[in-house]
Amino acid sequence: MSIILNKKQKKSLCRIILASVIFIFAVLISGLSVIPAEYSAYARFILYLIPYLLVGGDVLLRATKNIIHGKVFDENFLMSIATIGAFALGEYPEGVAVMLFYQVGELFQSYAVNKSRRSIAELMDINPDHAYIERDGSVVTVSPDELSVDDVILIKPGDRVPVDGIVIRGSSELNTASLTGESLPRDVNPGDPVISGCINLSGVLHVRVTKIFSESTVTRILELVENASSRKAKTENFITTFSRYYTPVVVIAAAALAIIPPLLFAQPFSMWVERALTFLVVSCPCALVISIPLSFFGGIGGASASGILVKGGNYLEALAKTDTVVFDKTGTLTCGKFSVTELHPVKMSEDQLLEYAAHAEAYSSHPISISIKDAYGKPVRNEALTDVSEIAGHGVNATFNGHRLAVGNSKLMRSLGISIDDSVRPGTMIHVSLDGSYAGYLVISDTVKPDAKDAILRLKALGVKKTVMLTGDSSVAAASVAKELGIDQYHAELLPQDKVSVLEDIINQQNKNRKVAFVGDGINDAPVISRADVGIAMGSLGSDAAIEAADIVLMDDNPAKIALALQISRKTMGIVKQNIIFALDVKFLVLVLAAFGLANMWGAVFADVGVAVIAILNAMRTLNVKDK
Amino acid sequence: MKKTFKLENLDCANCAAIMESKIRKINGVNNASISFMTQKLIIEADDSRFDAIVKEAAAVCKRVEPDCFIRE
Instruction: Decide if B9 and A226 are in contact by the 8 Å CB cutoff.
Output: no
| Domain limits for position A202 | 148-211
In a domain, A619, yes or no: no
pLDDT band with cut points at 50, 70 and 90 for residue A33: low
| pLDDT score of A448 more than 70 | yes
Residue A416 near residue A431, CB atoms below 8 Å: no
Residue A191 pLDDT > 80: yes
Is the minimum CB–CB distance between A366 and chain B shorter than 8 Å?
A: no
pLDDT at A317 (0 to 100): 92
Question: Does A2 have pLDDT greater than 70?
Answer: no
Over residues A90-106, the mean pLDDT reads: 83
Element holding A461 (H helix, E strand) = helix A452-461
For A237, name the nearest residue in chain B, comparing CA atoms only.
B17
The shortest CB-CB distance from B13 to any of A8, A227, A290 is to A290
Last residue of a domain, one of A185, A211, A237: A211
Do A442 and A472 belong to one domain? no
Percent of chain A with pLDDT over 70: 94
How many domains does chain A divide into? 4
> Is residue B37 within 8 Å of residue A120, measured between CB atoms?
yes
User: Final residue of a domain: which of A530, A565, A600?
Assistant: A565
Contact state of A286 with B66 under an 8 Å Cβ cutoff: no
Most confident of A287-301, A577-591, B36-50: A577-591
Specify if A440 maps to a domain: yes
A1 pLDDT more than 50: no
Q: Confidence band (pLDDT; 50, 70, 90) for A565?
A: very high
Residue A320 predicted with pLDDT over 70: yes
Please name the member of A65, A226, A229 whose beta carbon is closest to the beta carbon of B66.
A65
Greater confidence (A281 vs A208) lies with A208
CATH code (residue A530): 3.40.50.1000
| pLDDT < 50 regions, chain B | none
3-class DSSP state of A451: coil
Q: Model ipTM?
A: 0.72
pLDDT interval class at A573 (50, 70, 90): very high
Where in the sequence numbering do the catalytic residues of A fall? 328
Between A158 and A30, residue with greater pLDDT: A158
Q: What is the pLDDT of residue A627?
A: 60
Mean pLDDT of A228-248: 79
A497 lies in some domain:
yes
**How buried is residue A4: exposed, middle or buried, by Cβ count under 10 Å (0-12/13-18/19+)?**
exposed
Q: How confident is the model at residue A301 (pLDDT cuts 50, 70, 90)?
A: confident
In this model, does residue A184 exceed pLDDT 90? no
Give residue A489's pLDDT: 92
Out of 3.30.70.100, 3.40.50.920, 3.30.1360.10, 3.40.50.720, select the CATH number for domain B2-71: 3.30.70.100
Angle of CA points B38, B44, B47, to nearest 5°: 135
* Claim to verify: residue A120 and residue A202 sit in the same structural domain: no
Residues A312-323 have a mean pLDDT of 91
Q: Where are the alpha helices (DSSP H) in A306-349?
A: 313-320
Beta strands in A104-164 (DSSP E): 131-135, 138-142, 152-155
Task: Please tell me whether residue A65 adopts helix, strand or coil conformation.
Answer: helix
Regarding whether A434 and A380 lie in a shared domain, the answer is yes
pTM comes to 0.75
Is A29 in a helix, a strand, or coil?
A: helix
When the pLDDT of each residue in chain A is averaged and rounded to a whole number, the result is 83
Q: Where are the beta strands (DSSP E) in A286-382?
A: 308-310, 322-328, 334-345
Distance between first and last Cα of chain A = 27
Best of A61, A119, A229 to mutate (most B CBs within 10 Å, chain B): A229
Mean per-residue pLDDT, A151-174: 89
